[in-house]
């Protein structure tokens, strides 16, 4: 009987979390559509930024603190809600339509990015329980390296590094590929560097996060190039 109650409680918690993620996503999509038409210059780019969307997916799962699998689902629900809010408000408020192919590309981005950054947010929220021993793949998010090593690879560190990596990728993209958006690009590069410094909990974790920033940033840039190729096709 006790186990059945726990299962019901867990199920209701997941349903509430899914509703929260969907509502956050819908509001985010509406605000994106509204703000990109009202903010000036470089700040317009930040309003319509993929980074801002994945930050919300990260934040939702960090706050709700469910298991890795549910965090992945909540991350997708958040971005799916953002897409729905964006395109519905564009159609019925701004009377602007988008092609099916464009929406399909961004849905693909949500399918990939939502779970990745949902998991990243969930992993970062585990930081209070991180220990210096054990496998980083375990539920507690323990370290891959022993206490005596100068680097520590843990779930919370990887979560922060993923977030900073996407900031770096989009920042460099804006600096190199988009004219008149260099100020936005510089802001995002600075935020990429600050993320592990501010969000990591120890000096060793901050150092590890900064080192992971380079390969994850390059991976993010490759994903941006793929998106651009799909959108141009």
Q: Where are the alpha helices (DSSP H) in the chain?
A: 2-35, 41-47, 50-64, 68-92, 100-125, 155-177, 182-199, 203-232
Kindly report, residue by residue over 169-203, the tens digit of the pLDDT: 988 888 887 777 778 888 899 999 999 999 998 88
> Cβ distance 71 to 21 under 8 Å?
no
Kindly report, residue by residue over 196-231, the tens digit of the pLDDT: 999 998 888 999 999 999 899 899 888 888 887 887
pTM of the model: 0.82
> Cβ distance 26 to 81 under 8 Å?
yes
Kindly report, residue by residue over 79-121, the tens digit of the pLDDT: 999 999 999 988 887 777 777 888 888 899 899 999 999 999 9
Across 39-43, 156-160, 180-184, the highest mean pLDDT is recorded for 156-160
Q: At what angle do helices 50-64 and 2-35 cross, to 10 degrees?
A: 160
């Amino acid at each position: 009987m006790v186990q059945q109650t726990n299962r019901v409680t867990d199920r209701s918690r997941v349903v509430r979390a899914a509703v929260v993620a969907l509502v956050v996503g819908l509001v985010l999509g509406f605000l994106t559509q509204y703000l990109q038409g009202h903010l000036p210059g470089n700040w317009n780019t930040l309003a319509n930024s993929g980074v801002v969307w994945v930050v919300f997916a990260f934040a939702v799962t960090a706050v709700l603190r469910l298991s890795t699998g549910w965090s992945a689902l909540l991350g997708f629900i958040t971005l799916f809600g953002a897409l729905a809010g964006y395109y519905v408000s564009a159609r019925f408020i701004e009377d602007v339509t988008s092609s099916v192919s464009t929406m399909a590309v961004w849905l693909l981005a949500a399918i990939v990015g939502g779970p990745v950054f949902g998991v990243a947010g969930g992993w970062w929220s585990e930081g209070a329980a991180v220990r210096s021993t054990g496998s980083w793949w375990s539920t507690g998010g323990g370290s891959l390296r022993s206490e005596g090593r100068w680097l520590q690879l843990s779930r919370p560190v990887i979560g922060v590094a993923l977030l900073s990596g996407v900031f770096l990728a989009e920042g460099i993209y804006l600096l190199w590929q988009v004219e008149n958006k260099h100020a936005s690009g510089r802001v995002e590069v600075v935020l990429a560097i600050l993320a592990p410094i501010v969000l990591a909990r120890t000096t060793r974790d901050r150092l590890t996060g900064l080192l992971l920033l380079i390969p994850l940033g390059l991976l993010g840039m490759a994903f941006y190039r793929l998106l651009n190729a799909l959108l141009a096709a």
